[in-house]
Structure 1
Amino acid sequence: MIDVENLKQYQIKRPDRWSLFGDAEDFDNLPVSHKDQIFFLDKTATDFLYEFLKVAKLIATNDNPFSKNNFKTVEHYTQMDNENGLKKWLYNRAIPFKEEVFLLGDDCILTTWKIVVKYAPDLFFSNDTVVFNSTLNWCLFYFHHDHLFFGRDNIYDTSNDQIKMDEINRLKGIYPNMKFPY
């Protein structure tokens, strides 16, 4: 598991440039209760999460991000122009609204599943974006050609344990202030 509380130390103020939540003014106009659930993370946390995602081999690098059979169940959604349908599809993934998730796209953000569902049409429209929780048991991947993939029930492969441990130990050397699951 990734230590969410540790990563909150790397929170920065909202960028003055465009973000996944629009420009600075758009973000400032969000309800306070929503802004309180959105934590932009700095470069150290961003680099760490991208490296950790790569080490965990949660996604592949082709049109089907879960083609390496990382998950027992993979669902696909393509009706991106139907905002209500998109939100309903995400809601039906049965992730608790209060669950903290990582949102990696143009920005690296720690937020809640509720925010992802609420702002989905704004978050999933241009560049590839990945959403996952600290357990890595599920992953949502938006492929920039209007395809959403949702993988659930991460398959644990013991044959790769030593490789993963070596990679995690390498990351510990690069990011000594981060807390690791092992």
Structure 2
Amino acid sequence: MFGSKEAFLKLPEEQRKQILFLNSSSTQAVYDAFNHKDILCGDDGWGNTPFSAGCFESVEKFCIQEYSDLNTWLLQHNVSLLAKVLLLPVFASVDEPAVLTVWQIVVEFASELFSGDNIVVADVNAHWCLYYHHDGIITFAHTPALATG
């Protein structure tokens, strides 16, 4: 994510300050917590059916037409672009870190973040979650159902 180390260092300092690569133990703790919470509840393990088991009150799915659609969708749903989120590559190699950032960075780098493999973007409280499927499909889930969330 965010290219090579050299490419990352070329980013404006203000952007770099908003992107924190977690160390391996923190990355593992995040994955463990999200797996324990079953954040993708009901998924088939390949990203084809995220959030299908009713763990969230609202689930919306759409195909990406323009990456600016993400910004529009977030604003329409009153999501603060400054809210902290975790980026979790779904099929990442063991040494690829999770990233703590803000929605604004996700919007700015959407074309890079959502061009490869599946990725989960979740707010730190897991009230909002975005699942990007490599076929260009984004699924948003929000408001955990009280019975399961």
* Residue 35 of structure 1, CA deviation: 0.4
**Structure index of larger Rg:** 1
Match for residue 138 of structure 1 among 128, 131, 135: 128
* Residue 91 of structure 1, CA deviation: 4.1
Please state if 1:73 is matched with 2:58.
Answer: yes
1:66 and 1:151 in contact (8 A); partners too = yes
Please state if 1:151 is matched with 2:133.
Answer: no
Q: 1:116 to 1:83 in 2, by over 3 A?
A: same
What is the rounded CA distance, in whole Å, between the counterparts of 1:119 and 1:153 in structure 2?
A: 25
What is the rounded CA distance, in whole Å, between the counterparts of 1:152 and 1:53 in structure 2?
A: 15
Measured on the aligned residues, the alpha-carbon RMSD in Å equals 1.8
Please state if 1:28 is matched with 2:9.
Answer: yes
Matches within 5 A, 1:151-170: 151-157=141-147
Please state if 1:61 is matched with 2:43.
Answer: yes
What is the rounded CA distance, in whole Å, between the counterparts of 1:123 and 1:90 in structure 2?
A: 16
What is the rounded CA distance, in whole Å, between the counterparts of 2:76 and 2:7 in structure 1?
A: 28
Percent identity over the alignment?
Answer: 30
Tell me the amino acid that sits aligned with residue 87 of structure 2: L
Unaligned ranges ≥5, structure 1:
1-19, 161-182
Give the secondary structure class of the aligned counterpart of 1:52: helix
Q: What TM-score comes out, normalization by structure 1 length?
A: 0.70
Tell me the amino acid that sits aligned with residue 85 of structure 2: V
Which residue does the alignment assign to 1:99?
A: 83
Deviations 1:133-180 (A, max 9, x none): 12211111111221110001111226x9xxxxxxxxxxxxxxxxxxxx
2:121 and 2:131 in contact (8 A); partners too = yes
Unaligned ranges ≥5, structure 2:
none
Match for residue 39 of structure 1 among 5, 13, 20: 20
Give the secondary structure class of the aligned counterpart of 1:55: helix
Tell me the amino acid that sits aligned with residue 153 of structure 1: T
Which residue does the alignment assign to 1:83?
A: 67
Please state if 1:129 is matched with 2:114.
Answer: no
Deviations 1:42-94 (A, max 9, x none): 111111111111110110332120101111111112125x2333443344342
